[in-house]
Amino acid sequence: MLEAARRAGKRSVVGWAVAAILGGTLAACAAGAGAQAGPTTVDGRAMRSIDAPAHVGDWMSYGRGWDEQRYSPLTQINDRNVQGLGLAWFDDLETFRGVQATPLVVDGVLYNESIYNIVTAYDGKTGRKLWTYDPKVGPEWARLACCGPTARGLAAWNGKLYIGALDGRLIAIDAKTGRELWSSQTFPEGQEYSITGAPRVYDGKVVIGNGGADYGSRGFVTAWDAETGARLWKFYIVPTDPAKGPDGEASDSAMRIAQPTWFGRFWEAAAGGGGNAWDAFAYDPELNLVYIGTGNGSPHSWHFRSEGKGDNLFLCSIVAVDATTGEYRWHYQEVPEEDWDFTCTQPIVLADLMIDGRLRKVAMHAPKNAFFYVIDRTNGQLISAKSYTSVNTWASGIDMATGRPILLPTAHNTTTPHLMNPSWMAGHTWHPMSYSPLTGLVYFSAQEQGSIYSRAEDGQYRYVKGRSNSGQQYGNQPELRARLQAEAVATEKGYLLAWNPVTQSEAWRVDYGIPGSGGVLATAGNLLIQGTINKTLAIYRADTGAKLWEMNIDQAPVAGAITYLVDGEQYIAINAGWGGSPVMNLNRNGPFRTATAKLLVFKLGATGVTLPPMPPPSSLPPPPPLRATESQVITGRALYAETCQRCHGENAIGGVKDLRFMTPQGHARFEDVVLKGILQERGMASFADVLTPDDAAAIHAYLISRGNEDYQDAAAAAQ
């Protein structure tokens, strides 16, 4: 019926016919009328009936439902009236750092999380602040997480909110007052972990992962009692030294499967092996399964991590565990022999699809490796997989008989630099994706960003605590590297993709030229909502991709939008704060400037609320674009601390000269100053006896990175 109506040009996503197609659950809300029927308690009953009239106006979990579809049946704002959308209210979050959280809304109260896990409750209708909670995460954690002191969202359950703090605390606070109720430390202190992903609550169990594979750690997921904070189970993602025996955790049976797929003294190569599950979770309450998307290896190089042998389970996999016990049920590994910093921690979306005349319970996944997977979520069997980008230098396809990728002969890294696309920058990064049961399409931001890979020579890799332990080398064969880098820059692309998971084919796309556009939200109003790299919020027809509405917001949101109801009115909310997504051509049209990060809330007919203008460019010298790799920057940070900090200030702030904001001339002669001592008469002696040219270049890269991080704040202060 839906497809026939679409072909007839009718607006097929509104009305009682659609409600009938979806089982009648939208009857009271299909037109977006009516507020919630009394106070909402976020519990199992509410989460199992999110489309019922009492809950349809709430947004109670990170992906709205446990299936992570990020689809709302609200239709008051729709493809016929969205042109009347206006800004209802906003809150300036007073930072230029990336703000990546998805807000929650319960009973008309909007709960938002900014940098350093600061949580604020707002009246969802007016924007009035009700309370703010600051967990006081130390500023040093901004340097220990790969994407800065950001967080992707909160969880809610039975009158409580749950924060996965950057420093590893799982904190429960009272949703009415913001008062802290309990706190549990989820990872060992002093080790290379952090939390940037959103916790989830599944039938009274708070599930949380962590990051840290780049720095050297052993990934795991834990579940905690939502009422008391007591730990319920722990599931390790990769094995450890077999001489230690079983861990005594829920993952013990899984580690017996994983252990034979690892070789050498892998637990020493980077203090753990990696696999950290830092963002992707979903839950099927009927099957009582939690689905975990796991991360990359540590070190990145398979050659150094596992002697270039073995699949290295459960790196870059979807792993299903029993929600009650945490015990292993099944897995599907998307990237065996992981060698490329391919994380599989991108959103997992659950749905029931009619495939070959049979209704299948599926999990859908579009990880870094540029293949879109449809997997039977009852048993982990692959149903289909196809590359969703126009270039894939990693694998030519997926062998349907084995489920394994068909690796290209040049895929694995050698000591000769080569260009990989997709790369560590991803075919699809963590930005939220959505699925519409009305169009049958999955929507996500896709990109093509090549990167140069070559492993270090034998004997040249060693694990260093606190540094990114990739096992790569970055300076050999410079002429080849320059040619490959030029190719990567010239071919960089970014677009919004609508994908048909049944036919494994592209339905439509919106080309943005470069990567960086954010998460998406689909609604029954035939709308698809996305923040764009063009510093706008844009709304498209979900069925065709035609643009319906767009507003300049002086920011490039990476977070996903939400929609909710208060007093019968539908609102759209999004955090707009750029950060955490490297783009090579970002400054192609001049310096990429944004306003401060803001929480923006829209509704039909709203007028009179305008965003303040951006301040004029400062005379403070802008830093050059950051061209270095993450590993170079991290190496430079450590060398700076050992060599330069006493005179030039901790974290490169202040000191005898603030090196974050050097002039173009200062940048041009940086190595001559450091290694040749051309300013020794001013007290800056040569450091050629302790620093190599590569060391000086790494320190310079770190300072450029610090300048890019802090420039807009410093420039605004200079006005």
Catalytic residue positions, numbered: 341
The DSSP element (H or E) to which 22 belongs, if any, is none
Asked if residues 85 and 604 have their Cβ atoms less than 8 Å apart, the reply is yes
Asked if residues 317 and 332 have their Cβ atoms less than 8 Å apart, the reply is yes
**Smallest Cα–Cα separation from 539: which of 78, 104, 102?**
78
Burial class (CB in 10 A: 0-12, 13-18, 19+), 129: exposed
Classify strands 527-532 and 520-523 as parallel, antiparallel or unpaired: antiparallel
Exposure class string for 472-501: b at 16+ Cβ within 10 A, else e? bbbeeeeeebeebbeebeeebbbbbbbbeb
Distance CA 633, CA 625 (A): 13
Exposure class string for 176-207: b at 16+ Cβ within 10 A, else e? eebeebeebebbeeebbbbbbbbbbbbbbbbb
Classify strands 371-376 and 569-576 as parallel, antiparallel or unpaired: unpaired
15 is written with which tokens?
Answer: 């009305």
Q: With helix as H, strand as E and coil as C, how does 138-173 read?
A: CHHHHHCCCCCCCCCECEEECCEEEEECCCCEEEEE
Q: Is 200 strand, coil or helix?
A: strand
- Kindly report the length of the chain: 719
Residue 665 contacts by C-beta under 8 Å, 6 or more apart in sequence? none
Distance CA 237, CA 419 (A): 29
Residue 682 contacts by C-beta under 8 Å, 6 or more apart in sequence? none
Classify strands 348-355 and 328-333 as parallel, antiparallel or unpaired: unpaired
Alpha carbon of 603 to those of 102, 444, 607: distances in Å? 18, 24, 9
Strands in 449-589 per DSSP E: 451-453, 493-500, 505-511, 520-523, 527-532, 536-541, 547-552, 562-566, 569-576
User: HSE (CB half, 13 Å, CA atoms) of 671?
Assistant: 10
Q: Packing angle between helix 630-643 and helix 693-718, nearest 10 degrees?
A: 90
**Smallest Cα–Cα separation from 59: which of 129, 13, 19, 112?**
112
**Smallest Cα–Cα separation from 99: which of 149, 169, 171?**
149
Distance CA 267, CA 1 (A): 56
* DSSP bridge pairs for 495: 446, 511
Residue 716: CB atoms within 10 A of its CB come to 15
8-state DSSP, 194: B
Distance CA 688, CA 692 (A): 6
Classify strands 382-387 and 371-376 as parallel, antiparallel or unpaired: antiparallel
Residue 9 contacts by C-beta under 8 Å, 6 or more apart in sequence? none
Angle in degrees, CA 484, 485, 491, rounded to 5: 90
In the chain, how long is the greatest CA-to-CA distance? 82
